[in-house]
Structure 1
Amino acid sequence: MKFLTLAIIPLLAMTAFASPRLPEETPQQTFASAAEATEMLFQAVKSGDKERIGKILGGPTDLLSTDDEVQDDLDRGLFIQKYQEMHRIDLEADGSVMLYLGAENWPFPIPLVAQDGSWRFDAAKGRDEILFRQIGENELTAIATCLEFVAAERQHQGTPDTLNLEGSSPTSLVAKAASGSGGGDPLFLHGYYFRLLPGRKPVNGFTLIAYPAQYRSSGVMTFVVNQNGVVYEKDLGPNTSAVATSMIVFHKDSTWRAAEE
Structure 2
Amino acid sequence: MGADARHVGRHGGIPGARPHGRLPWSRRHASSVSGEDRVVAGDEAARSRMWRKARTIMAAFALASALSSPGGAETAPRAAAAIRHFPTPEAAVQALVSAIQEPRLAALEAVLGRAVLDDIPLGERQQAAVRRAAGAKLASERFEIRYLDGEDRRAVAEFGDAHAQLPAVLRKSSRGWAFDQAATMQAMRERRIGVHEANAIRALHALAAAQQRFRTSDRSGDGILCYAARIRSSPGRRDGLVVGDGDPVPGPTSSLLNDAFAAAEAPRGQRMPDPPGGYVYRILSAQGQNAEGGAKSYLTHDRLTEGFAVIAWPAQPGTSGLSTFIMNQAGTIYEREFGAGTAGEVARITAFDPAPGWTRVSDEKG
The partner residue of 1:80 within 112, 136, 141 is 136
User: Could you tell me how far 1:40 is from its partner in structure 2?
Assistant: 2.7
Contact in 1 for aligned 2:170/2:180 (Cα 8 Å): yes
Runs of 5+ consecutive residues of structure 1 not aligned to the other structure: 1-5
User: Could you tell me how far 1:122 is from its partner in structure 2?
Assistant: 0.9
Whether 2:91 is the aligned partner of 1:36: answer yes
Contact in 2 for aligned 1:22/1:51 (Cα 8 Å): no
Q: State how 1:21-32 maps to structure 2 within 5 Å.
A: 23=79, 26-32=81-87
Runs of 5+ consecutive residues of structure 2 not aligned to the other structure: 1-26, 33-49, 67-75, 216-224, 230-238, 249-254, 287-295, 299-304
Cα distance change of structure 1 residues 45 and 193 upon mapping to structure 2, 3 Å threshold: closer
User: Could you tell me how far 1:210 is from its partner in structure 2?
Assistant: 0.9
The farther-off stretch of 134-143 and 185-194 is 185-194
Aligned equivalent of 2:108: 53
Contact in 2 for aligned 1:186/1:194 (Cα 8 Å): no
Distance in 2 of aligned mates of 1:48 and 1:177? 31
Contact in 1 for aligned 2:145/2:157 (Cα 8 Å): yes
User: Could you tell me how far 1:59 is from its partner in structure 2?
Assistant: 4.5
Q: State how 1:44-123 maps to structure 2 within 5 Å.
A: 44-60=99-115, 61-64=117-120, 66-69=124-127, 72-93=128-149, 95-123=153-181
1:34-76 residue CA offsets vs partner (Å, 9 max, x unmatched)? 232223333333443421221111151233363331xx42332
Amino acid at match of 1:165: V
Contact in 2 for aligned 1:110/1:125 (Cα 8 Å): yes
Amino acid at match of 2:313: Y
User: Could you tell me how far 1:119 is from its partner in structure 2?
Assistant: 1.2
Contact in 2 for aligned 1:33/1:118 (Cα 8 Å): yes
3-state secondary structure, aligned to 2:351: coil
Distance in 1 of aligned mates of 2:264 and 2:78? 42
Cα distance change of structure 1 residues 42 and 133 upon mapping to structure 2, 3 Å threshold: closer
User: Could you tell me how far 1:240 is from its partner in structure 2?
Assistant: 0.4
3-state secondary structure, aligned to 2:311: strand
Amino acid at match of 1:224: I
User: Could you tell me how far 1:117 is from its partner in structure 2?
Assistant: 4.2
Considering only aligned residues, what root-mean-square deviation do their CA atoms show, in Å?
3.3
Amino acid at match of 1:146: L
User: Could you tell me how far 1:131 is from its partner in structure 2?
Assistant: 1.2
Contact in 1 for aligned 2:65/2:131 (Cα 8 Å): no
Distance in 2 of aligned mates of 1:121 and 1:36? 11
The partner residue of 1:201 within 272, 276, 297 is 297
Aligned equivalent of 1:245: 347
Cα distance change of structure 1 residues 230 and 110 upon mapping to structure 2, 3 Å threshold: same
Question: Normalized per residue, which structure has more helix?
Answer: 1
The farther-off stretch of 59-68 and 250-259 is 59-68
Cα distance change of structure 1 residues 134 and 44 upon mapping to structure 2, 3 Å threshold: closer
TM-score by length of 2: 0.59
3-state secondary structure, aligned to 2:320: coil
Cα distance change of structure 1 residues 112 and 145 upon mapping to structure 2, 3 Å threshold: same
3-state secondary structure, aligned to 1:85: coil
Whether 2:228 is the aligned partner of 1:160: answer yes
1:200-237 residue CA offsets vs partner (Å, 9 max, x unmatched)? 51342223211110101111111111223211111122
Contact in 2 for aligned 1:212/1:219 (Cα 8 Å): yes
Cα distance change of structure 1 residues 84 and 144 upon mapping to structure 2, 3 Å threshold: closer
Cα distance change of structure 1 residues 80 and 234 upon mapping to structure 2, 3 Å threshold: same
User: Could you tell me how far 1:138 is from its partner in structure 2?
Assistant: 1.3
3-state secondary structure, aligned to 1:110: coil
**When the two structures are aligned, how many residues end up with a matched partner?**
251
User: Could you tell me how far 1:256 is from its partner in structure 2?
Assistant: 1.1
Distance in 2 of aligned mates of 1:153 and 1:40? 47
Distance in 2 of aligned mates of 1:120 and 1:224? 42
1:128-179 residue CA offsets vs partner (Å, 9 max, x unmatched)? 111111111111222222222222333315131555533256747678998x
TM-score by length of 1: 0.80
3-state secondary structure, aligned to 1:64: coil
User: Could you tell me how far 1:28 is from its partner in structure 2?
Assistant: 1.5
Aligned equivalent of 1:3: none
Cα distance change of structure 1 residues 177 and 204 upon mapping to structure 2, 3 Å threshold: farther
Distance in 2 of aligned mates of 1:177 and 1:98? 34
Amino acid at match of 1:131: R
Distance in 2 of aligned mates of 1:152 and 1:47? 40
